[in-house]
């Protein structure tokens, strides 16, 4: 699946690069992105669903073209950070605003959260999670939230 981590203190989102299908490594991909207005997105889960969510997000999140986040068997989870710093987690069940100092999603989430609990920045947390999670790896991409005006 993936590991995505975000920290309000560091204002950084990080994601691993491993792409897998079932139990096979399928290559590498970028899972964290920054939109022109400064908003960030990180995606975990079924690649075809996640990439349709990324395209929708980068195009401005038009309600009429909002994609499905999947069903119980094939879904994705998403972390969106607005330019104002608001953090949202979206999945097939809906969305929730996160008020914690940091958050993580994906199969390596527990490892990343433990690393963040111990003071790691998001890139380090994803690196640590990748050492234990079978579905995370191949390096780390990061995107930073710009300082507010």
Residue 108, Cβ density class (10 Å: 0-12 exposed, 13-18 middle, ≥19 buried): buried
pTM (two decimals)? 0.92
Domains of the chain by start residue, with CATH: 3-141 (3.60.20.10)
Among 50, 55, 38, smallest CA distance to 78 is for 50
Among 96, 34, 43, 97, smallest CA distance to 70 is for 43
Q: Distance (Å, rounded) from C-alpha 123 to C-alpha 125?
A: 5
Give, for all 149 residues of the chain, the pLDDT tens digit: 799 999 999 999 999 999 988 788 889 999 999 999 999 999 998 888 889 999 999 999 988 888 877 776 778 899 999 999 999 998 878 889 999 999 999 999 999 999 999 999 999 999 999 999 999 999 999 999 986 54
Q: Distance (Å, rounded) from C-alpha 148 to C-alpha 32?
A: 20
Q: What is the pLDDT of residues 113-147, one digit of tens each?
A: 999 999 999 999 999 999 999 999 999 999 999 86
**Partners of 4 in beta bridges:** 15, 105
Query: How many whole angstroms from its chain centre is CA 76?
Result: 10
Residue with tokens 């989430």: 109
Burial 135-146 (b: 16+ CB within 10 A, else e): bbbeebbbbebe
């Amino acid at each position: 699946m993936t590991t995505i981590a975000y920290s309000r203190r560091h204002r950084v989102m990080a994601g691993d690069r491993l792409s897998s299908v079932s139990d096979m490594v399928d290559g590498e991909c970028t899972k964290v992105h920054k939109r022109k207005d400064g908003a960030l997105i990180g995606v975990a889960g079924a690649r075809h669903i996640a990439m349709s969510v990324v395209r929708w997000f980068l195009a401005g999140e038009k309600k009429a073209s909002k994609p499905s986040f999947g069903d119980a068997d094939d879904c994705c989870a998403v972390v969106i950070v607005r330019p104002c710093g608001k953090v949202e987690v979206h999945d097939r069940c809906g969305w929730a605003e996160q008020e914690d100092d940091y958050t993580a999603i994906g199969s390596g989430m527990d490892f990343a959260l433990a690393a963040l609990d111990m003071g790691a920045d998001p890139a380090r947390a994803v690196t640590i999670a990748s050492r234990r999670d079978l579905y995370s790896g191949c390096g780390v991409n990061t995107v930073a939230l710009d300082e507010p005006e």
